[in-house]
């Protein structure tokens, strides 16, 4: 195996991604990190994505690895829920471009249902192996959100019926599915009829060279630079309903009753109008609960500042309604910042409670608030979580080791594809 075609269609994918823009978050980081590590390990990598707005056709990252953009669906941004209408054109344009450039690939590795559906069609045309990572599952998202939104409105916004139908096709037809969590493996086998032998769990990774603890005196200087206090709670990520920032705000009165000096640093959302409206609603909720004066609202954190912002906080909070994995929590833990995570996600099953991290149900404000207060109230607990959390994150989620495990899956799927081709 020498050459890999990776596909990740939605959002702003690039050598230097504009994180925080719509549909541009953890999945983009995941894809870029893997592409970089595959390249370091000597593989040729083209990362295929959508070309729109004024983006160039190529970002040449190094001699082994390029981001390659194929135009389809016009020049405007298309949200991931509406990719259904444009995927056939992407497949046609991609096959024509591959033929024109005389490119050869040994395996396709696709991400999310949109790229998965297109990747399967392309793999079938080229007669090569296709490996897919779902990142999240339509069935899970639909059933988790069911109580929070009107059914008709939910279908109009998220088009779950179409998505689940396409997911089922991808999971059945591709050579192998790489899930990011054990609960995701269970859902794939139970709700999508995936054969257990065709599914492997490999967790996401972290950049070990960026996310690590620093001495207390150095951290004091970092806090001063970013105006973050030693008793601050950090929440960080995209502005999205599933992230549960409203649930976090509802838990704050409990935190402030137990730890009056605490604050929340909310580094959520970006500059889009949709994000601004979401933050406005959060501020209105905070005013209703009388906690807005104890929240420091920050713009989305630049990538180069991310590790230092993680290090600055006393704890990191991830209150998601659902979270396929939760890379932000792993990154925070790797920086030595204790995390309080949701029970509605894949990371929950891997954590040793009270040793590596704390978890709670964000739908129960008293419970989640009490868990956030614990490391603030008990420094010994915080120190324990800091050390053991960093060890856990770095030992289990370094990107190079993750990439090597994936390459073995690719090799196995190529061997399977070769055997099937010889039969026919």
Asked whether residue 186 falls in the same domain as residue 278, the answer is no
DSSP state of 98: H
Asked whether residue 224 falls in the same domain as residue 239, the answer is yes
| Cβ–Cβ < 8 Å for 105, 135 | no
Tell me whether residue 274 is in a domain.
yes
| Cβ–Cβ < 8 Å for 116, 110 | yes
Name the residue with tokens 């640093």. 265
Residue 376 confidence (pLDDT): 97
Asked whether residue 233 falls in the same domain as residue 289, the answer is yes
Residue 332 confidence (pLDDT): 96
Tell me whether residue 210 is in a domain.
no
Residue 179: left (phi > 0), alpha (psi -120 to 50), or beta? beta
Tell me whether residue 64 is in a domain.
yes
> pLDDT tens digits for 176-222?
999 988 889 999 999 999 999 999 999 888 888 899 999 999 999 99
Asked whether residue 178 falls in the same domain as residue 308, the answer is no
Q: DSSP string of 295-352?
A: EEEEPPPPGGGHHHHHHHSSEEEE--S-BSS-HHHHHHHHTT--EEEESSBSGGGG--
Tell me whether residue 292 is in a domain.
yes
Domain residues for the domain of 379 are: 216-396
Tell me whether residue 197 is in a domain.
yes
Asked whether residue 259 falls in the same domain as residue 156, the answer is no
The pair of three-digit structure tokens given for residue 256, joined into one six-digit string: 């402030």
Asked whether residue 180 falls in the same domain as residue 73, the answer is yes
> Comparing C-alpha atoms, which of 120, 244, 139, 129 is closest to residue 184?
139
CB count within 10 Å of CB 246 equals 16
Residue 68 confidence (pLDDT): 98
Asked whether residue 38 falls in the same domain as residue 135, the answer is yes
Asked whether residue 317 falls in the same domain as residue 280, the answer is yes
Asked whether residue 52 falls in the same domain as residue 11, the answer is yes
Name the residue with tokens 């073995």. 408
Tell me whether residue 211 is in a domain.
no
The pair of three-digit structure tokens given for residue 65, joined into one six-digit string: 């690895």
Asked whether residue 144 falls in the same domain as residue 199, the answer is yes
Q: Structural domain tally of the chain?
A: 2
Asked whether residue 411 falls in the same domain as residue 378, the answer is no
| Cβ–Cβ < 8 Å for 80, 112 | yes
Length of the chain: 424
Which residues does 57 contact at the CB level (< 8 Å), separation at least 6? 51, 68, 69
Q: One digit per residue, pLDDT tens: the chain, 424 residues?
A: 899 999 999 999 999 988 888 899 889 989 999 999 999 999 999 999 999 999 999 999 999 999 999 999 999 999 999 999 999 999 999 999 999 999 999 999 999 999 999 999 999 999 999 999 999 999 988 887 765 667 788 888 889 999 999 999 999 999 999 998 888 999 999 999 999 999 999 988 888 889 999 999 999 999 999 999 999 999 998 888 889 999 999 999 999 999 999 999 999 987 788 889 999 999 999 999 999 999 999 977 888 899 999 999 999 999 999 887 788 999 999 999 999 999 998 789 889 999 999 999 999 999 999 999 999 999 999 999 999 999 999 888 889 889 999 999 999 999 988 887 776 6
The pair of three-digit structure tokens given for residue 352, joined into one six-digit string: 């040793």
Residue 402 confidence (pLDDT): 92
Residue 283 confidence (pLDDT): 97
Tell me whether residue 307 is in a domain.
yes
Asked whether residue 7 falls in the same domain as residue 59, the answer is yes
| Cβ–Cβ < 8 Å for 253, 264 | no
> pLDDT tens digits for 258-285?
999 999 999 998 778 888 999 999 999 9
pTM value? Answer: 0.69
Residue 256 CA to residue 251 CA, distance in Å, equals 9
| Cβ–Cβ < 8 Å for 263, 229 | yes
Tell me whether residue 419 is in a domain.
yes
Residue 203 confidence (pLDDT): 87
**Where residue 358 sits, what CATH number does that domain have?**
3.40.50.2000
Residue 148 confidence (pLDDT): 61
> Comparing C-alpha atoms, which of 201, 181, 188, 144 is closest to residue 361?
144
């Amino acid at each position: 195996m020498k050459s890999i075609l990776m596909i990740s269609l939605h959002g702003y994918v690039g050598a230097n991604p504009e994180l925080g823009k719509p549909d541009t978050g953890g999945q983009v980081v995941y894809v870029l990190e893997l592409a970089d590590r595959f390249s370091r390990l000597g593989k040729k990598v083209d990362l295929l994505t959508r070309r729109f707005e004024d983006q160039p056709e190529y970002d040449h990252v190094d001699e082994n690895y390029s981001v390659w953009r194929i135009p389809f669906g016009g020049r405007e941004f298309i949200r991931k829920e509406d990719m259904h209408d444009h995927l056939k054109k992407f497949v046609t344009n991609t096959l024509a471009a591959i033929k024109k450039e005389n490119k050869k690939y040994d395996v396709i590795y696709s991400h999310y249902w949109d790229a998965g559906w297109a990747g399967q069609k392309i793999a079938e045309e080229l007669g090569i192996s296709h490996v897919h990572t779902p990142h999240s599952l339509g069935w899970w998202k639909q059933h988790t959100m069911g109580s929070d939104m009107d059914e008709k409105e939910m279908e109009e916004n998220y088009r779950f019926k179409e998505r689940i139908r396409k997911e089922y096709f991808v999971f059945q037809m591709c050579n192998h599915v790489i899930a990011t969590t054990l609960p995701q493996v269970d859902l794939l086998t139970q709700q999508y009829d995936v054969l257990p032998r065709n599914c492997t769990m490999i967790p996401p990774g972290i950049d070990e060279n960026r996310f690590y603890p620093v001495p207390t005196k150095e951290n004091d200087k970092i806090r001063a630079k970013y105006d973050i206090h030693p008793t601050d709670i950090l929440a960080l990520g995209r502005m999205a309903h599933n992230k549960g920032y409203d649930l976090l705000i509802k838990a704050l009165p409990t935190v402030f009753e137990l730890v009056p000096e605490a604050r929340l640093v909310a580094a959520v959302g970006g500059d889009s109008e949709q994000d601004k409206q979401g933050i406005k609603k959060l501020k209105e909720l905070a005013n209703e609960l009388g906690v807005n004066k104890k929240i420091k609202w920050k713009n989305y954190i630049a990538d180069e500042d991310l590790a230092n912002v993680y290090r600055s906080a006393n704890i990191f909070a991830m209150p998601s309604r659902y979270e396929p994995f939760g890379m932000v929590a792993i990154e925070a833990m790797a920086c030595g910042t204790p995390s309080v995570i949701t029970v509605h996600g894949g990371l929950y099953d891997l954590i040793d409670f009270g040793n590596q991290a704390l978890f709670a149900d964000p739908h129960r404000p008293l419970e989640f608030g009490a868990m956030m207060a614990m490391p603030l109230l008990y420094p010994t607990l915080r120190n324990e979580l800091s050390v053991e959390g960093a060890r856990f994150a770095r030992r289990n989620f370094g990107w190079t080791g993750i990439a090597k495990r994936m390459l073995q899956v690719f090799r196995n799927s190529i061997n399977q594809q070769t055997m099937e081709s010889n039969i026919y």
